[in-house]
Amino acid sequence: MDSDDDESCSDNSDSELAFCLEDDYKFQDIILDDDNEKFVSRINRYWDRHPVVLRQHLDWIFRFGAIKCATALLGGETGQTMDFYCNLSLGLPVMHSLAETCDGALIELFIHHGAPLDHRCYGRGPNNLNLQGKLPLNAALQSLAHNIFYEGWDPSRPLFEMLVLLCSRFSKKDVTKGIRLLVLNTKEAELEICQYAKEGKVVELAALLMTAREKVAPILYEIGDGSTSNGGMSIRQCIYRKLAALTYEESKFTFCNEKKLIRDCKEKKMAFMSTVELLDIFEMAGDTIETYIRLRQQQDEDQKSIIVHTSVQHGSPTLPLLTRSFHTMRAPLGSQSTTFVEAQFTGGYSMVELRHWICIGRGAGHKGSGFAPMS
């Protein structure tokens, strides 16, 4: 490339910029570093600047967790408008794409600027069929659930294993905050919570109870006077009826020797029985589980503080390199890359340890009915 081309792509040039092939790489590096000043400067110097925020820029901001660049965009520093309903690279609307990352800081920022959380996803192609008609909250919980199943858990395994894996995810305050904000700010959250229970979605229910129990628990349990939150059948009664119906169907299919249908019935029954067990655990030891998660979050924060202190004290480049490497591999929680990244940042949590904590909660003689909000 000649010197004139170099100058046109240089951040030090005061002239207006026209598009060149290196811009994608430059913008990606700027967003990766979350350098909002360079980001705003480059966009504002384009003579053919797009009036609407580019989808590719949003993809990179979400992937790298670039909170400063996002703040500049939403604050109008680039003079561009935000289309919250556009589809990003994977065919999902803006808030569905962001929700998949469970990035609490970005989710809070977008909610503050009026991003819609009750917009459902339709007609997004074969890659997103499981999110058809779903909300950003569903996208976030699906991402978490995919990660748990990728780790090898399924309803045939002990429930404590799944709780340990979720505790590992929620040791990051930002992940907890992301799910919690979506639950508390989604108008149709109660409908989705009930639906998860009626479908035996035990991972999603556990995540909801771990992050926003004061809102979720009253929906799932009967209120003190014996009534229910929706004035009808309680969630537990609904599950018991489904179990009875599945048992009847299983016996009918056994008589006809329909092996696949028998297997399907068994899997559904297992999921519903896990759901009942989960409700029992959180009813008896919900406060204790929240305390356990807070302890893990504090340990995670302490560990980060030690890394920062050591890097600053010794002038080590370890922290910037580690941070850059983490953001480079960052992806929605359901992806393989996140499993690797989180393995580097999160210590293993013993199933025996969590079981001990829950047993303490059960032995305390209360049902954890305070529904105290997590900080």
Tokens of 219: 């929906």
Helix ranges (H only) for 315-335 are 318-329
Based on C-alpha coordinates, what's the Rg of the chain? 24
Helix ranges (H only) for the chain are 3-8, 23-32, 36-44, 55-64, 67-74, 94-101, 104-112, 136-150, 159-170, 173-185, 189-198, 202-211, 213-220, 235-256, 259-314, 318-329, 336-345, 351-363
Torsions phi, psi for 346 (to 5 deg): -120, 130
Distance CA(176)–CA(182), nearest Å, equals 10
Digit-coded pLDDT (tens) for 185-202: 999 999 999 999 989 999
Digit-coded pLDDT (tens) for 111-158: 999 999 999 988 666 557 788 889 999 999 999 999 888 888 888 888
pLDDT for 66 equals 95
Question: Residue 43 above 70 pLDDT?
Answer: yes
298 and 374 in contact (C-beta within 8 Å)?
A: no
Sole residue written with tokens 């030891």: 285
Distance CA(153)–CA(203), nearest Å, equals 10
More confident residue, 107 or 336: 107
Average pLDDT, the chain: 77
Digit-coded pLDDT (tens) for 70-102: 999 999 999 999 999 988 878 889 999 999 999
Digit-coded pLDDT (tens) for 52-78: 888 889 999 999 999 999 999 999 999
DSSP β-bridge partners for residue 81: 52
Share of the chain above pLDDT 70, in %: 69
pTM value is: 0.77
pLDDT classification of 22: cutoffs 50, 70, 90: low
Distance CA(111)–CA(73), nearest Å, equals 14
Question: Residue 284 above 50 pLDDT?
Answer: yes
pLDDT for 302 equals 73
The amino acid occupying position 64 is F
Distance CA(42)–CA(31), nearest Å, equals 12
Question: Residue 29 above 80 pLDDT?
Answer: yes
pLDDT classification of 215: cutoffs 50, 70, 90: very high
Torsions phi, psi for 134 (to 5 deg): -100, 165
Sole residue written with tokens 């700027």: 30
DSSP β-bridge partners for residue 195: none
pLDDT classification of 292: cutoffs 50, 70, 90: confident
